[in-house]
Structure 1
Amino acid sequence: MTPTPVQIAAIPAILRGGDVLAAAQTGSGKTAAFALPLLQILLDARSEKPRRLRVLILVPTRELAQQTAEAIGLLAQAAQQPLKIVALFGGVSINPQMMDLRGGADIAVATPGRLLDLVEHNALSLGGVSTLVLDEADRLLDMGFADEIGRILVQLPKQRQSLFFSATFPADVHALAARMLQQPTRIAIPSLEQNQPAIEQRVILVDAGRRTQLLRHLLKENNWGRVLVFVATKYAAEHIAEKLHRAGIKASAFHGEFSQGARNEILADFKASKLQVLVATDVAARGIDIAQLPVVLNYDLPRSAVDYTHRIGRTGRAGKSGIAISFVSADTEAHFRLIEKRHHLKCVREQIAGFEPVEVAAPASTGAADASPSYGGVKGKRKSKKDKLREAAAREESK
């Protein structure tokens, strides 16, 4: 397999033992870029008994913890010396993870909240960590994990290698990197056409109240095997999934209030094509890798322009092509123009026969029949009460 640009740049830098600050788009092979050299470093070192934790990878969500641990496990299968890799995350009982840590581990992929819980239970120590990786560092801070990261950092050795990997690096991530990294190798893979995933981005104009009808029409006309539909709220996910189910479409909601077992089961069904449509909140925008997912659809636009990249990045992965569709109505046109400006896009507006929009101005909020609110602006620097509540909920579900 030909290495990707981020892998070509990052692997030698990591093998040299220095810190790395790497920005590369979603689906560019970031996990292998840090996993392969770290596996080599661990295998070259003298094996220890009992094992001590030497590599700590912090991630924002449960699904990303599971996925990353599984991916590293597959890469490590060819090694003659067995390595123990554990995924540590909340939403499930802590006891099996405590049992799994008996005898130590070489690599831990963890969400911050559950990691601290395990440290407090004396299930593992961070004093032997030689490499810290922050994967999706922007999301870690956006979800309000700054305090937890601070508590983790004071328990790590001062002399260590630190690696930051993410698709985007806003100001707060750069500030954290400036405090943590020592003369890092800076890697920025430009979004050149040859580096971009093959994602066809479409914008369809439709009145907000007719989005579900249009979604059903598109599913019927295009016969897509699987579609990941993004919405703004838990209520919208459940409401739309129920409407599709009543129309004879195999659909399920997916959001942070499901138990981890339920989330695993729903994702397994979707990956196995037992479900045609997964209607998800932004819990699915990061870290969920679904092979050959043909279509992502923004039923609601993402509130943050940054999250647009992560949503559409669920398709067009690993060299495959994909389609990303956004529904835009009168009250969200200005917001999508801002998304276009932030990402240097210019998307043609389409209209589907029979679903041509008639609204020309943003309608008054009425609690709407068709499921979910639309956002007319991008999240600002000052957090609203709703932002803080969402952040708290995200932190709880990602423990």
Structure 2
Amino acid sequence: MTASALTRPGERDRLSVKLGEIDWRLVGLLALIAGTGAAMLYSIAGGQWQPWAADHLIRFGLLLIAMLVLAMVHPKWWFHGAYPLYGFVLFLVLLIELTPLGYTAGGARNWLNLGFIRIQPAEFMKLGLVLALARWYHAHTAKEARWSWKLIFPIAMIGVPSIVVAAQPDLGSAMVIALTGGAVMFIAGLSWKVIAAGAAAAVAFVPPFVMFGMHEYQRNRVLTFLDPTQDPSGTGYNIIQSKIALGSGGLLGRGYGLGSQSQLEFLPERETDFIFSTLAEEFGFVGSFTLLACYLAVIIISLRIASLSHSHFGRIAAAGMISFFAIFVLINGAMVMGMAPVVGVPMPLLSYGGSSMMTVMIGFGLIMSTRVHRYAELPKGQGLF
């Protein structure tokens, strides 16, 4: 469909035209990754659809429909809902800390128990943060984005939820929130001098934070990452077993359903955090490389979509959404290879988990909306600050 057809009155809002503007390559790649996840979940359950594979496929199917519906939503609604969504999700994050509704799982009080459902607000904070930052930058000049006292507002938007989530303590989610916010500031044009100064400050801050700001079990994870053999049957067990699984896969893998580390349950959390290790053991280097190539293709296509948007909000929001997707892939990949501490970050669409998949698919709904409505213009000067 040409640009002229999309800009003719009465045609650009037709559902058939909008559906034709969906990037079906991207949809196919997302389905391929989620399908691979379901196949691995089927394998580690001993050739059974329950308890993971069937739920994984059903969730993805429903969320894929939701993604396509969100793609039809005009960017102006994302734009106007940005600040309210950020405020609402931040309220939910604070609700965990301030009320008995907070629920502890896996050593972190990061779930909100509403009785009929449990949700993890930190997952949705990534969406709210990207949208809020995109709206803020839409209303400000490139010079202000590069360096200005006004940057205190986006820094506060990033810092408040990061600190609250880290205190729960959910270091993995806090890290993803902070890195996602930093990526958006970089995309928006933050000065390289400020980036260099921030990186230096972060490096200087890490040692005292590890020694005095972390809980003991978190500090042990970091120290174990540096030398897993210090406690091979305790805190170092996860990383050691993950490395064994990765190495035993070789070039072509041990075969589907034949991974000893996962099938014999030596590999911990093989359905969530360490599912990539399971895939590497059964399909080897070739399978792992193919999956990572699919992730890279998703990232490149999404960045291309972001660059085509005529509105600054659309460009920043779409690029921000794919940033946290890429951060998920990088952190989980580094974690299972022993190149980063184990912080509980899933491999997107591959790992089992409802909140993570929902966040990712809503993000791709916005990316698709940016493509479908890439010629849409949004007015400037509508920032709160």
Q: TM exceeds 0.5?
A: no
The structure with the largest helix share of the pair is: 2
Normalised-by-shorter TM-score class: under 0.3
State the TM-score, normalizing by the size of structure 1: 0.25
What TM-score comes out, normalization by structure 2 length?
0.26
Task: Specify which structure has the bigger relative contact order, considering alpha-carbon pairs within 8 angstroms and separated by 6 or more residues.
Answer: 2
